[in-house]
Amino acid sequence: MSAPVLAPVGPIGTVHGVGLGPGAPDLLSVRADRLVRDTRHIAYFRKAGRPGQARRIAADLLRADAVEIPMEYPVTTEIPVSDPRYNACLAAFYATCTARLADLARAGEDVVVLCEGDPFFYGSFMHLHSRLAGQVPVQVVPGITGMAGAWNATGVPITWGDDVLTVAMATLPEAELTRRIRDTDALVVMKIGRHLAKLRRAVAAAGREGEAWLVEHAAMPGQRVTPLGEAQAVTPYFSILLIHGQGRRP
């Protein structure tokens, strides 16, 4: 006969997914700022050997006695996303992270997971949230998305009137990218990285190369806004392509 599962003794902690916004520390919400400053256990994702972008944004807010929990991706671009090993490797990684955070919450500790942009917008925290839900209390603090930081960096509205805005990933097949670019009024393309050449071809095939802008490191040090035709051959991960809508206006 198996032993009964014992309920935690005392109050249970909460895991907070905290959106940090597009990159500037002063673009955090008041709630996000308070949680990051007040919470002792601070978790964040990063690539192995790197400090992590989320950690950089929140660096000056952490308590002197903060217990940091870096969660290092086992793979980023080393394996194609189409390879079954990619999902298997990340699934095991997220399961391990989930168990560690859940154990802290059951011990009565609150944990803040630092999230770039908004936690529920193409962020890694989503994969923790889906695993933690039902195990321990989980709360999400919204953040300004990276794409909002990017289109504000251009100084031009992204949509007008009845414009339809499409958000696409540069990881899509080239033909699908071309279709999406051709069929929308306004466009955001994220996760460009090594896909810039493919994205250039898709934009050209859709006949919109003269409208496209590349924003690198929006709201961060080194922010740069460049017409796509003038962009370098290799762009950083923190780059977003924009095409502004030209819809109805008074």
pLDDT 10s per residue in the chain (250 long)?
A: 544 544 555 799 999 999 999 999 999 999 999 999 999 999 999 998 888 999 999 999 999 999 999 999 997 666 666 677 778 899 999 999 999 999 999 999 999 999 999 999 999 999 999 999 999 999 999 999 999 999 999 999 999 999 999 999 999 999 999 999 999 999 999 999 889 999 999 999 999 999 999 999 999 988 999 999 998 766 677 899 999 999 999 9
| Per-residue pLDDT, 233 | 67
pLDDT at residue 186, as a whole number: 98
Note whether 158 and 134 are same-domain residues: no
Q: Does residue 106 lie in a domain region?
A: yes
Residues 123, 192 share a domain: no
Q: What pLDDT score does 237 carry? A: 73
CB hemisphere CA count around 63 (13 angstroms):
14
Could you say which of 96, 123, 144 is where a domain stops?
Answer: 144
Q: Could you tell me the residue range of the domain that residue 204 belongs to?
A: 147-243
Tell me, yes or no, whether 189 lies in a domain. yes
What's the length of the chain?
A: 250
Q: How far apart are the first and last CA of the chain?
A: 74
Q: Model-level pTM?
A: 0.90
- Asked whether residue 250 is assigned to any structural domain, the reply reads no
Q: Are residues 133 and 20 in the same domain?
A: yes
In a domain, 57, yes or no: yes
Number of domains forming the structure of the chain: 2
* Rounded Cα gap, residues 225 and 25, in angstroms: 20
Domain-located, residue 7: no
Q: Is 42:67 a contact under the CB 8 Å cutoff?
A: yes
- CATH number, position 215: 3.30.950.10
Res 170: pLDDT: 94
Structure tokens at 123: 């962020």
What is the Cα–Cα distance from 194 to 77, expressed in whole angstroms? Answer: 9
192 and 206 share one domain: yes
138 and 23, same structural domain?
yes
Residue 138 sits in the same domain as residue 51: yes
Same domain assignment for residues 104 and 210? no
Alpha carbons 15 and 113: distance in angstroms, whole number? 7
Asked if residue 184 and residue 120 are part of one domain, the reply reads no
In our burial notation (b when 16+ CB lie closer than 10 A, e otherwise), range 92-113 reads ebbeebbeebbebbbeebbbbb
Domain stops at, among 144, 161, 179? 144
Residue where one domain finishes, among candidates 144, 164, 194: 144
102: CATH: 3.40.1010.10
DSSP letter assigned to residue 2: P
The predicted pLDDT at position 48 comes to 87
Residues 89 and 128 in one domain: yes
C-alpha span between 40 and 142 (Å, rounded): 20
> Is there a domain that residue 10 lies in?
no
Are 153 and 128 found together in one domain? no
Q: Is residue 89 part of a domain?
A: yes
Is residue 1 assigned to a domain? no
The pLDDT, as a whole number, for residue 219 is 92
